[in-house]
Chains A and B, each alone.
Chain A
């Protein structure tokens, strides 16, 4: 800090002096802070940079992780970064930690990045991602037999819109989420057209509008998310996922691959490989951090449906779960 300031000494004498004062203050505050946390000194004052993405659950888990690390005395910075583009930053150490890499959507990118040796998988968050075809409860009357997928063979027309009739319409996620829905429709012989929403927001905008009108809709929903909390409905039950079903056409019900549901998988924590070296104690804290689906679902609903602020929800969790996070930081 001192050297950076001295560059400006000539023209910015005043700011240099302010810098010096700030430095003294930093030392004092730092010393006090260390005493407060009771967690012992930290190995590096550099901020641990945790990435933020564009869904509430992820913002919550990142903020919780940040709060826990701060209790342990670390400096944390939260940085906006794209879900898949962030790996480039994690590999160089520009970014430190990504709190939610879903096995369902990010596995491929995660594995590619791990292969470079510059990132590490810091374990499961304890939450399980579920993504599947979903319908509102009122559709059960129009298509009896649901949630079993066989029912869809008979009443695909119930899900039709003017553009897709007589076929049913299935609103899939953004193309980037993958999901193999075209293949699934083909393999299981379902009479559905797959339409892709470009973003998460567009996906739920359609659900909201259809739900208000009690209009037919079948779409991709994922959990943990506020939608299954707000709207009553169910996931379709497809034949259970297996790796063979995706890779081997012969296995499963039909002679085609993808004749089963989507995988259910853990949500991973992943980050720069240098964490253990730079902040050894933080590494163990990060590895011990876990949440579960119910907790997360409830917190997401508080923020997105009840309009509570993210900070308030994080604070509340921190007070209610003091013994849990204290165990993680070893205090």
Chain B
């Protein structure tokens, strides 16, 4: 322990941290020991003494609000009224208002303006030609930044045309064109309101938490009831899921506006409105654009789920190809989503950092774009290839991917099977047994104790009541299965992700490759790799485990990477001068200093793992995700929402505990930042 002298905090802080660590460690060991003993004996106690309640939450004690919620929704749909008009009429009016611009976006990008209704309607005005769209987005890239971005974006859109994904990609794009601005506007409004009023913020924070953590499937059914079947309902689901980061980031970045700018605004006599729109929002623009970027990325994450309730587009293509086990087509459609995501991401980031002072005269560019639009429009009537990208020039990976999977399947199946059994028997199943055998009340008590240790009474009460809720509604066993699957996946994701993050922080070339890989893993719909994984590993826990690890890896890498890069160079230099070996430098200086960021990464990894549950339900796990999914297909509102709430509560418990741990880590290592 004496080598800890090189700790940046200095020797007195060092002593304190050692004593705190030793002093703080023994209750954890006792806790783990008690857990192990209880888990090992719970079966005995339950069967020999007849105390079934000792291990399982008794069915007689279950009080589920599922029926009440179902009945309340029915009442809202059928009876609720505001006097002049009913609630359903109100929601249908909203969906009518949104359907209009969505229809126009689709007309411009995909369908053209039609005469008549239904499938036989005739096209009077064709949609924008693929050439016109590519020129348009390239011009936007040029406008936002430079020629390189323009070329990149044009190339990404060209991928869509060449690989035959054009029409579907434009359907997806038109829903983005509607969902993103609405999400941004609502998020901005909510964020500003929370910035202005503490009461609004206190009310909106838990709501935003729930919006982000309740799986989308849980509220799809009520949305279908209220907004009707079709793309508008899917748009709403997308907005609910994608909006919260915008609201949070808005509040944060408005708070970050330097006080002298605010003072200046007040001095020259700005009204509240002027202050908001002329001073605060423009100053916080860079932060706000990060929010916009998040809305775009999350909306694209939703395309698969949205396509299940009628959004069509690329998400539908992915599902449809994989149902035919056409892995190549599914992957191509999935990569088209990635291409759209990268194009929109780069574009919005370029606008975020763009120097507004240097807006170049873009009249010439607009003229060129306008000319291309008109020219392709006219030529489209003469040359078919201008209107639609000729199918004969299309490229496809054909059966390459299918052949690859089947080659692996035939030749390496035994090896894969051996690896799978090794991981299952050596790691996953013991954890599962431990979790399922630990008495439910010990979880409530134990988590409460952890909460008390990290954040005193308030945290303890929050954690205990949320955990008890899960037992009360009778979903305890599903919840334990969920926690087991998430824990093993998160542990492995961290074990892989943290070293990758460290490597990326030290090696420029590695960082570039790792960056592309995790970007792709996050935007490629997980369903694309889920089906090949099923083919190689069969339906079961292990398949779900792999899918979750792949998806949840990204934040573990990204936050570690970020945390290490942010370390003060002087600290590193001081440590090197005082004779640290590179290994000591990493384990004694860098990792402890980056700990708060790594914990934040852990937090995000857990959130992503939980959000994957609904997808893994599609390969047959028996967890809360499955419960939500079953509720969706049975159109049972209450059941879905209750199970969704349980997932959200697990997420909130994990979030609060880790946030408290991160705070104490920061106090320990970086007191100057507290």
Chain A residues with CB under 8 Å of chain B are 18, 22, 25-26, 29-30, 33, 45-48, 51, 54-56, 66, 70, 74-89, 94-95, 109, 161-163, 171, 174-176, 195-202, 204-206, 208-209, 212-213, 215, 226, 304
Q: In whole angstroms, what is the CA distance A197 to B531 when docked?
A: 11
Given contacts A25-B124, A94-B229, contact A201 B323 (CB under 8 A): yes
14 residue pairs of the A-B complex, CB under 8 angstroms, read A66-B119, A85-B309, A87-B635, A88-B221, A88-B635, A163-B424, A175-B626, A176-B629, A198-B539, A198-B629, A201-B618, A205-B532, A206-B539, A208-B325
Contact B228 A75 (CB under 8 A): no
Which of chain B's residues have a CB closer than 8 A to the CB of A55?
Answer: 323
Beta-carbon contacts of B293-334 to A below 8 Å, as 1s and 0s? 000000000000001111110001001101111000000000
Which of chain A's residues have a CB closer than 8 A to the CB of B121?
Answer: 75
- For residue B95, give the distance in angstroms from its CB to the closest CB of chain A: 11
Contact A208 B535 (CB under 8 A): yes
Contact A202 B409 (CB under 8 A): no
Given contacts A84-B634, A161-B538, A209-B536, contact A202 B618 (CB under 8 A): yes
Given contacts A46-B117, A205-B325, contact A176 B634 (CB under 8 A): yes
- Closest residue of B by beta carbon distance from A48: B118
Q: Is B633 on the interface with A (CB-CB < 8 A)? A: yes
Q: In whole angstroms, what is the CA distance A76 to B626 when docked?
A: 35
Q: In whole angstroms, what is the CA distance A92 to B555 when docked?
A: 44
Count of chain B residues near A, Cβ 8 A: 60
Which of chain B's residues have a CB closer than 8 A to the CB of A46?
Answer: 117
Which of chain A's residues have a CB closer than 8 A to the CB of B308?
Answer: 80, 82
Given contacts A195-B539, A198-B618, contact A204 B325 (CB under 8 A): yes
Contact B309 A199 (CB under 8 A): no
Which of chain B's residues have a CB closer than 8 A to the CB of A162?
Answer: 417, 421
Contact B410 A22 (CB under 8 A): no
Contact A54 B117 (CB under 8 A): no
- For residue A102, give the distance in angstroms from its CB to the closest CB of chain B: 14
Contact B617 A75 (CB under 8 A): no
Identify which of B539, B630, B632 gathers the most chain A CB atoms within 10 Å of its CB.
B539
Q: In whole angstroms, what is the CA distance A209 to B539 when docked?
A: 12
Q: In whole angstroms, what is the CA distance A89 to B311 when docked?
A: 16
Which of chain A's residues have a CB closer than 8 A to the CB of B124?
Answer: 22, 25
Known: A30-B116, A201-B618. 20 other contacts (CB 8 A): A22-B113, A22-B124, A25-B122, A54-B320, A75-B117, A75-B119, A77-B117, A79-B230, A79-B310, A84-B634, A84-B635, A85-B224, A86-B229, A89-B228, A175-B620, A176-B629, A196-B539, A197-B620, A206-B534, A209-B536
Which of chain A's residues have a CB closer than 8 A to the CB of B618?
Answer: 198-199, 201-202
Q: In whole angstroms, what is the CA distance A233 to B632 when docked?
A: 33
- Closest residue of A by beta carbon distance from B627: A175
Which of chain A's residues have a CB closer than 8 A to the CB of B531?
Answer: 201-202, 205
- For residue A144, give the distance in angstroms from its CB to the closest CB of chain B: 26
Q: In whole angstroms, what is the CA distance A99 to B323 when docked?
A: 20
Closest 9 CB pairs of A and B: A75-B118, A80-B310, A47-B118, A209-B535, A198-B620, A198-B618, A89-B229, A205-B534, A176-B633
Contact A85 B632 (CB under 8 A): yes
- For residue B108, give the distance in angstroms from its CB to the closest CB of chain A: 12
Identify which of A29, A201, A226 gathers the most chain B CB atoms within 10 Å of its CB.
A201
Chain B, range 402-442, C-beta contacts under 8 Å to A: 406, 409-410, 413, 417, 421, 424
Chain B, range 618-648, C-beta contacts under 8 Å to A: 618-622, 626, 629-630, 632-635
Which of A85, A198, A204 is close to B635, meaning CB atoms less than 8 Å apart? A85
Contact B117 A47 (CB under 8 A): yes
- Closest residue of B by beta carbon distance from A214: B410
Contact A198 B116 (CB under 8 A): no
Contact A202 B635 (CB under 8 A): no
Q: Is B519 on the interface with A (CB-CB < 8 A)? A: no
- For residue B410, give the distance in angstroms from its CB to the closest CB of chain A: 6
- For residue B72, give the distance in angstroms from its CB to the closest CB of chain A: 16
Contact A75 B120 (CB under 8 A): yes
- For residue A163, give the distance in angstroms from its CB to the closest CB of chain B: 7
Which of chain B's residues have a CB closer than 8 A to the CB of A85?
Answer: 220-221, 224, 309, 632-633, 635
Contact B116 A29 (CB under 8 A): yes
- For residue A43, give the distance in angstroms from its CB to the closest CB of chain B: 15
Q: In whole angstroms, what is the CA distance A74 to B121 when docked?
A: 11
Contact A171 B539 (CB under 8 A): yes
- Closest residue of B by beta carbon distance from A33: B120
Which of chain B's residues have a CB closer than 8 A to the CB of A45?
Answer: 117
Contact A22 B539 (CB under 8 A): no
- Closest residue of B by beta carbon distance from A230: B325
- For residue A206, give the distance in angstroms from its CB to the closest CB of chain B: 6
Which of chain A's residues have a CB closer than 8 A to the CB of B225?
Answer: 88
Q: In whole angstroms, what is the CA distance A193 to B409 when docked?
A: 24
Contact A205 B635 (CB under 8 A): no
Q: In whole angstroms, what is the CA distance A84 to B617 when docked?
A: 17
- Closest residue of A by beta carbon distance from B122: A29
Contact B630 A197 (CB under 8 A): no
Contact B116 A75 (CB under 8 A): yes
Which of chain B's residues have a CB closer than 8 A to the CB of A206?
Answer: 534-535, 538-539
Which of B229, B316, B319 is close to A95, meaning CB atoms less than 8 Å apart? B229
- Closest residue of A by beta carbon distance from B538: A206
Identify which of B230, B307, B536, B634 gathers the most chain A CB atoms within 10 Å of its CB.
B230
Which of chain B's residues have a CB closer than 8 A to the CB of A88?
Answer: 221, 224-225, 635
Q: Is B266 on the interface with A (CB-CB < 8 A)? A: no
Which of chain A's residues have a CB closer than 8 A to the CB of B539?
Answer: 171, 195-198, 202, 206
Contact B634 A77 (CB under 8 A): no
Identify which of B113, B307, B535 gathers the most chain A CB atoms within 10 Å of its CB.
B535
